[in-house]
Amino acid sequence: MELRSVRLPSTQRYAGRRKVVKACFADVPEVCLYFGYLGKTFRFDSACIRRPELRGQVVASISLHASGSVFLQLYAVHSNAYPRTASEQFEGLVLPRLHEWLWNRLNRPETAIRRHEMLIVEWTGSEHREHALRYG
């Protein structure tokens, strides 16, 4: 497991705490956990043609590449736009769903077609929404 993090100003934070995210994915040996390390905001990969319509701010994404590498990224959010209850919901409900999504893909048979897959989590201001992507 690799964990890299970027410090944020006091007006920003991440959807989940490092220790909670790390504990949730402790059983995934090759996962890279990035807290703002690859960028503070989400950007679509140029290879992604069918992009979902996002109405809110992306707070996290998890990617499984065709090579088998796994990246969980959390993005910076403004503290006043992302309440503490949203963070609790992210840690209690969304993180376990991301973990389940990943294990479902990692436990596919060896003969399964491997493509780049991603699950994006956005905060609309009142709820977390998930968007699944496949490309490559």
Name the nearest CA neighbour of 4 among 60, 82, 67, 74.
Answer: 74
Confidence of residue 108 (pLDDT cuts 50, 70, 90): confident
Average pLDDT over residues 120-131: 96
- List, in order, residues 6 or more apart from 114 with CB less than 8 Å away: 66, 67, 68
In this model, does residue 35 exceed pLDDT 80?
yes
Q: Dump pLDDT digits (tens) for 88-99.
A: 999 999 999 999
In this model, does residue 102 exceed pLDDT 70?
yes
| Domain range list for the chain | 2-135
Residue 59 and residue 74 in contact, taking contact as beta carbons nearer than 8 Å: yes
